[in-house]
Chains A and B, each alone.
Chain A
Amino acid sequence: NFMLTQPLSVSESPGKTVTISCTRSSGSIATNYVQWYQQRPGSAPTTVIYEDNQKPSGVPDRFSGSIDSSSNSASLTISGLKTEDEADYYCQSFDSNNLVFGGGTKLTVL
């Protein structure tokens, strides 16, 4: 069993770039794909990144994902921040047949 740890909150200004990390507590981050979900208040989560760095159709190119084995973490990077990007972001991976979520990061665009 492992945990995924995210920062509670990040903030940045419109037009800037922000990176949200997701650190796996044990086992290699590369062992299982990482997904990222965006959740706005009152709505269900939606996928912004899947399989570490793939984007569903309709997700802007400003969103990108990566993994870093040296820090055993995944990252979601949003460039050219817009106020509409303000939301909660969750990483998710797989532990055997189970799904594991990170605790979520609140992104404030101010």
Chain B
Amino acid sequence: QVQLQQSGPGLVRPSQTLSLTCAISGDSVSSNIAAWNWIRQSPSRGLEWLGRTYYSSKWYNDYVVSVKGRISIKPDTSKNQFSLQLNSVTPEDTAVYYCARLFVGRLDYWGQGTLVTVSS
């Protein structure tokens, strides 16, 4: 059974960096048949996919255009986890953030969600 456990602060100041971590159990971040994703959800934006990291002979990343340039998703093989960093946040980045595994074309396991509020 795969489990994803999220951690990170729930409050971030405007212009600062949002940082979250997703610890994986029951699978490997280096799996070559899965991809590790970050998704956020807010009343104004609904569900929004932010990006993913995956391994296929080397590491790859894909990011949604709307946050490209501000986002970084990185694997940590030593701790079997992956992280999200979103720079220069504004109140528009306030949302519930989820990590999720993409496997056989679907997001089959999700983290518990983290409400991140951007406010001074």
Contacts and interface: CB of A to CB of B under 8 A. Distances in A.
Interface of A: 33, 35, 37, 44-47, 50-51, 56, 90, 92, 97-104
B97 to A, nearest CB: 11
Contacts of B112: 44
Contacts of B111: 44
Contacts of B105: 33, 35, 50-51
A98 B113 CA distance: 21
B110 interface: yes
B110 A45 contact: yes
Interface in B75-120: 98, 100, 102, 104-108, 110-113
B30 to A, nearest CB: 19
Contacts of A104: 46-47
Contacts of A98: 49, 62, 64-65
A98 B64 CA distance: 7
Contacts of A97: 62
A44 B108 CA distance: 11
B59 to A, nearest CB: 14
Contact of A101 (B46, B52, B65, B110): B46
